[in-house]
Structure 1
Amino acid sequence: MSALYRDTQAYVDTAAVQRNLSKIRRRFPSSVQLMAVVKANGYGHGAIQSAEAALAAGADMLGVASLEEAVELREHGIQLPILVLAPIPPRYAELAAALDIRLTVTEAGWFKQREEFRQTPNGAPLRVHIKLDTGLGRIGLRSREEWKQLVPWLKRKDIVVEGMFTHFATASWADTSFVKLQYERFLSMTQWAHSSRIFPTLLHCCGSASALRFPEMALDMVRIGAAAYGFYPSALAPQWELEPALTLRSALIQVKQVSAGDTIGYDRAYKARGEEWIGTVPIGYADGWSQIMQNGEVLVGGKRAKIVGRIGMDQLTIRLSEPCRAGDPVVLIGSQGSEKLSCTEAASRAGVVPQEITASLTGRVPRNYEKLSKDEALQKEEYAWKPKQDLLRRF
């Protein structure tokens, strides 16, 4: 790790990620596989470190959002099966096959385009998962006609149809009616495969919220992303008691006393109501602490301090309840004394989900990692994936 010259830093407890995944793993039958989703740099927690925690917890597969994310895992010696959860440009399909990366497909046109770029027709088989749109409305096929157009491509000898999946739109709602409707649609649509003599071994529809709330819908695999990092609908699934894995800390760089009528920040967005102490913290929207956090709070001296004025690119200002000094610690996510500010609370104030906050933390915020709590006997080298003859350079 390079030298750290700034007080604004994140601390990631990979043991918490491991414990969360282990707890979820244990509560499902061994027949149900566990996919750990480590996309978006492990939701801001670190993709490689999260993948290693998932391996130690017994995960069967990893999920990512792009081929770049999958290749990065392979380059760092991660051997677990990887599924890219969205379609990639067809011209990179052979690279994925060579690296044993599973791909999501949604339409016959993707395979037609792939043919234009194929250079090794007798290369490694391509393992695919078919995405079905049962109501989320983003990607996936919807109609029987779309399926029929896809079937001839799926029956080719170089294609292995490993899975079929969908994603729920309202898994965190108290009203479960639409989740159940999507589930029934999915089961019905999977029969298209059987009628076409195609038999995927992995049917999966549950992400974190639905897996925790509706374990009866687990089918062959559950996809655990947000819950791995401690984010889940605790009011609807209180029995889980998962742990947050990330703490965000900084320190005051200046404290000043202002008078009634003095204004703070761009656009004079905050006006002091009397004699007040204002502290400046070196974190801003270039660090991922967006202006949507302007009504939030931080912890200083074990007390809550409200963010005031506009959040800038590099700094924000807070109203202190008492005089403080430059260098005093600030907690944006985590605990200080008897006070606690969870990422879930901060997200609720901002009107977003907690994973948006951690995933938005940029590279300007160093991540400091605590080691896995156990199972370190699982040596990383044992799972190291070694490309043959500089495979990556050939694509």
Structure 2
Amino acid sequence: MNRDTWSEVSLSNIRNNMLKIRQTLPKNVKLMAVVKANGYGHGDIEAALMAQQAGAEQLAVAYLDEALRLREHGITLPILILTPIKPRQLKLAIEHDLMLTVTSASWFREARCFKPVTPLRKLRVHVKLDTGLGRLGIYEKPQWDEMVPWLRAADVIVEGVYTHFATAGREDTSYLKQQYMRFVDMIEWVKESRLAVNSYHCAGSAAALRFPELAMDMVRIGAAMYGYYPQKLVPTIKLEPALSLHSTLMQVKKLKKGEYLGYDNSYQADEEQWVGTVPIGYADGWSQSMQGTELLVNGQRAKVIGKICMDQLMIRLPGPCKEGSAVTLIGCQGAESITFAELAAHIGSVPQEISTSLTARVTRIYTDKGEARKRWDKRLIVSSSKGAIL
């Protein structure tokens, strides 16, 4: 590692979070681990392996390239691509034994031109139903009826029918219940069609933890796998964040009263004070929206001042500090901690926006790698980030 800014990812926390979640679910409910967006910024290969160790039966990603990367690194679990692929990509997906999300009959009509001729290559699909998120999926019965003949084809396997909740992390559950009942009604369309369906699923992380009775045949665990969940609404389970973020003080100086700091004179000292420069900026994924947040130095909080630069940011120090001192942007120092939830609240977003924003310039270092090594085939030990070695 040639840089003084890095993240640490606990493999055991990812695995243990999944094991804890598994214990809360009804028996016979399958576990689908969502490892899209490079495992929410934690490393897709590593996250997939930890999920497999914890007993996940399936994986999910957002895009075809993400699924192909998992296959290239020896991941053999069934993989669902959550975003519909282009019809011309069908042959590639089938060759790598990938499950596809489908949302329209028109997709099937075009995709038939690209389907491999061999009868051994079947198309495995999950049908997405839109019950109120308004993003992707069938939302009217005529759309379903138009798709049914395509789903009945001999070379098509309907692996699943699913939906996604819009408000599972909110205290008010009225809209979630409305979506669930809508899904139940739409399932009747499926049953009336007499199609064979292997699984129905509607619950993501928050819904699975809060309402295990909604688990149906399978749950999709993404955010909670990495320690992100509505903790106040689920006090019966304790999940641990898997990622922490660290850097160092590269320069320390005393700023006089009235002096400016940062682009556009974005900060002016109201008194004599110590300030430090930290080598992380918006090119690393630490955006200018983080201005005003706090970091930890010598176990104390230090506020980010001035505009965050591309490669550095500045903080107001609690007093004189040594250059080279450790800085924690996410994680603990002594009794103090900076959490994803705190930072997400500051920017008006969710924790996963922060971890997925961390760019490749931030090296991922995988902790407890010795323990993890014992648990999987050495042929599959890989790294998804430059400089991070298992």
1:38 aligns to 2:35 (yes or no): yes
Aligned to 1:260: 257
**Contact between 1:98 and 1:123, CA under 8 Å: does it hold in 2?**
no
Residue type of the alignment partner of 1:335:
C
Aligned to 2:384: none
Aligned to 1:113: 110
Aligned to 2:354: 357
Aligned to 1:276: 273
What's the CA shift string for 1:125-166, capped at 9, x where partnerless?
A: 010000000000000000000001101110111110010000
Structure 2 Cα separation of the partners of residues 8 and 298 of structure 1: 13
Structure 2 Cα separation of the partners of residues 358 and 218 of structure 1: 27
Structure 2 Cα separation of the partners of residues 229 and 282 of structure 1: 25
Q: Which residue, 86, 90, 93 being the options, matches 1:89?
A: 86
Shift of 1:380: 2.6
Q: Which residue, 217, 220, 223 being the options, matches 2:220?
A: 223
Shift of 1:193: 1.2
1:329 aligns to 2:326 (yes or no): yes
**Contact between 1:77 and 1:381, CA under 8 Å: does it hold in 2?**
no
Shift of 1:70: 0.4
1:196 aligns to 2:223 (yes or no): no
**Contact between 2:26 and 2:212, CA under 8 Å: does it hold in 1?**
no
Q: Is the alpha carbon distance of 1:382 and 1:218 closer, same or farther for their aligned partners in structure 2, counting shifts above 3 Å? A: farther
Aligned to 1:318: 315
**Contact between 1:39 and 1:47, CA under 8 Å: does it hold in 2?**
yes
1:237 aligns to 2:244 (yes or no): no
Aligned to 1:167: 164
Aligned to 1:157: 154
Structure 2 Cα separation of the partners of residues 326 and 223 of structure 1: 45
Residue type of the alignment partner of 1:340:
S
**Secondary structure of the equivalent of 2:232?**
coil
Structure 1 Cα separation of the partners of residues 168 and 181 of structure 2: 14
Aligned to 1:7: 4
Q: CA RMSD in A?
A: 1.5
TM-score, L = length of structure 1: 0.94
**Contact between 2:73 and 2:380, CA under 8 Å: does it hold in 1?**
no
Residue type of the alignment partner of 1:152:
P
Shift of 1:29: 2.7
Shift of 1:238: 1.3
**Secondary structure of the equivalent of 2:231?**
coil
**Contact between 1:67 and 1:88, CA under 8 Å: does it hold in 2?**
yes
Q: Which residue, 60, 65, 70 being the options, matches 1:68?
A: 65
1:306 aligns to 2:311 (yes or no): no
Aligned to 2:385: none
Residue type of the alignment partner of 2:177:
K
Shift of 1:77: 0.4
Q: Structure 1: any 5+ residue segments left out of the alignment?
A: 385-395
Structure 2 Cα separation of the partners of residues 203 and 272 of structure 1: 59
Q: Is the alpha carbon distance of 1:374 and 1:251 closer, same or farther for their aligned partners in structure 2, counting shifts above 3 Å? A: closer
1:208 aligns to 2:205 (yes or no): yes
Residue type of the alignment partner of 1:244:
P
Residue type of the alignment partner of 1:75:
E
What's the CA shift string for 1:225-275, capped at 9, x where partnerless?
A: 000000000011111110000010000110111111111111111110010
- Residues 328-337 or 23-32, more deviating: 23-32
Shift of 1:120: 3.1
Shift of 1:89: 0.7
Shift of 1:116: 2.7
Q: Is the alpha carbon distance of 1:361 and 1:46 closer, same or farther for their aligned partners in structure 2, counting shifts above 3 Å? A: same
Aligned to 1:53: 50
Structure 2 Cα separation of the partners of residues 59 and 373 of structure 1: 22
Structure 2 Cα separation of the partners of residues 351 and 321 of structure 1: 27
Structure 2 Cα separation of the partners of residues 201 and 137 of structure 1: 25
1:143 aligns to 2:140 (yes or no): yes
- Counting aligned pairs with the same residue, the percent is 53
Number of aligned pairs?
381
1:297 aligns to 2:294 (yes or no): yes
Q: Is the alpha carbon distance of 1:38 and 1:275 closer, same or farther for their aligned partners in structure 2, counting shifts above 3 Å? A: same
Shift of 1:382: 8.4
Aligned to 1:185: 182
Q: Structure 2: any 5+ residue segments left out of the alignment?
A: 382-390
Aligned to 1:391: none
**Contact between 2:24 and 2:209, CA under 8 Å: does it hold in 1?**
no
Residue type of the alignment partner of 1:137:
G
Shift of 1:381: 6.2
Aligned to 2:20: 23
What's the CA shift string for 1:42-72, capped at 9, x where partnerless?
A: 0000000000000110001001000100000
Residue type of the alignment partner of 2:327:
V
Shift of 1:378: 4.6
Structure 2 Cα separation of the partners of residues 275 and 31 of structure 1: 64
Structure 2 Cα separation of the partners of residues 226 and 236 of structure 1: 15
Residue type of the alignment partner of 1:228:
M
